[in-house]
Amino acid sequence: MNIILVSERLAKARTITLGLPHVALLGVGMMVSVVAIAAAMNYVMLRVAADTPIPYLQTLLLSAQQEQHEKTQSYLRENLNAMAVKLGQMQAQLVRLDTLGERLAKLAGFKPQDLVFSELPARGGAVSSVPSQDLSLGDFTRQLDSLTRQLEDRGDKLGILESLFTLDSAKKKLIPTMLPVDGGWYSSNYGWRIDPFTGQRAFHEGIDVMAEQGTTIRAAAGGVVVYSDLHPQYGNMIEIDHGNDLITRYAHASRRLVKVGDVVLRGARIAEVGRTGRSTGPHLHFEVRQRGAPANPSQFLRLPG
């Protein structure tokens, strides 16, 4: 582009040549000027609207402020609602953890009140020399997300631990660790002894617990009744299958209180002490049979359970 300048002060005309870079620079300058002028006019109009009671300008300003206020309020409401949902989830997870903790405490032999689940853990310390910082909304949201993930992880792990404790507790309840008669005393142990009828040396496959006629006989562990009938030598006899090839036998009862197929829990009443069958007096003959062979009941009665 060529620009020719003609003036009375000039002896001859001058020619200015503008290339593409000059034209582009000129265009950018004009655009910047227009934007700056528009911004200045907008600023001046806003200041004038704020200072001068012109109805139209006041209406535009109030409308813009109201729109901005509504956007801000909407943004805050959305974030508060999201945080409220997160807080509700965390509260539900804390209730679940407290419940799990109480059940685990009972399974482990603790009292729930000893662990104080309902109170916040005690915390304290001196004021740090490092300046404190306020949490931003983003930091607060990230902290909530992190705590939610940690609560879910702890809940899953405690759930697995509870399952293991429950399984272990169930197994213990199926092991005959409870003496079937309360207040009795041993009148004959497991092993070799002199038979009271023949006077010969004979192997005694259980233990005899002497008790008064009619004393309650209880299941030494939970299981299923597989025998309940009158036996030629054992008299009124009951057998309970506890699984894992474990069977307990209760003999010489005066009365049987369960029948074949009944499911009994540990400590349930199953019979009453008597002297039926091959017996010299009222007592309970108690056996534990493992894989079909007799086992010493004292080994099981000494187990914790």
Domain boundaries, the chain: 2-50, 71-115+137-173, 185-301
HSE of 143 in the Cβ direction (CA atoms, 13 Å)? 6
State residue 255's pLDDT score. 96
Residue 251: partners with Cβ closer than 8 Å, 6 or more residues away: 206, 231, 234, 235, 236, 237, 277, 284, 285, 286, 287
Tens of pLDDT along the chain (305 residues) come to 566 656 666 666 666 666 677 667 777 788 888 888 887 777 666 665 556 565 655 676 677 677 777 777 777 777 777 776 777 777 777 777 777 777 777 766 666 555 555 565 565 666 666 666 666 667 777 777 777 787 777 777 777 776 666 666 666 778 898 999 988 788 899 999 998 888 899 999 999 999 999 999 999 999 999 999 999 999 999 999 998 899 999 999 999 999 999 999 999 999 999 999 999 999 999 999 999 999 999 888 876 55
- pLDDT number for residue 263: 96
What is the chain's alpha carbon radius of gyration, rounded to the nearest angstrom?
Answer: 46
- The second-level CATH assignment, the architecture, of 185-301 is Distorted Sandwich (2.70)
Tokens linked to 83: 């945080």
- How far apart are the C-alpha atoms of 227 and 234, rounded to whole Å? 12
Structure tokens at 266: 């540990």
Q: How far apart are CA 252 and CA 272, in angstroms?
A: 9
Amino acid of residue 156: D
- Res 26: pLDDT: 75
Q: What's the pLDDT score for residue 164? A: 67
Closest CA to 273 of 260, 256, 254: 254
> 155 Cβ partners below 8 Å, 6+ apart?
93, 96, 97, 100
Query: Residue 63 has what pLDDT?
Result: 73
Output phi, psi for 293, to 5 deg.
-110, 150
Residue 265: the pLDDT is 93
Of 101, 86, 88, give the one whose Cα is nearest residue 146.
86
Contact 100, 159 (CB under 8 A): yes
**Separation CA 101–CA 109 (nearest Å):** 12
Secondary structure letter of residue 170 according to DSSP: H
Residue 266 is given by DSSP the state T
User: How long, in residues, is the chain?
Assistant: 305
Cβ neighbour number for residue 162 with a 10 Å cutoff: 16
Exposure pattern of 208-244 as b/e (b: 16+ CB <10 Å)? bbbbeeebebbbbbbbebeebeebeebbbbbbbbbee
The pLDDT score that the predictor gives to residue 133 is 62
